Amino acid sequence: MVPAPAPAAPAPAAAVYYANCAAARAAGAAPIFAGQAGYRAGLDRDSDGVACER
């Protein structure tokens, strides 16, 4: 009997990229908090650690 393959590791946070907040909202990812996949300072207008907030 051959063992089942191990589940794939999740993609690193850097692999998630949203061109803008509209793209993040369309993907259901907004708001994005610092440390979460897809967060980058360019999306965080007020530099409070929360990007694409309304």
Which single residue is written with the structure tokens 């589940």?
7
pLDDT at 25: 97
The pLDDT assigned to 50 comes to: 98
Q: Where are the beta strands (DSSP E) in the chain?
A: 32-33, 50-51
State pLDDT tens for residues 1-54: 778 887 766 655 558 999 999 999 999 999 999 999 999 999 999 999 999 998
The Cα–Cα gap between 7 and 20 comes to 31
pLDDT for res 15: 84
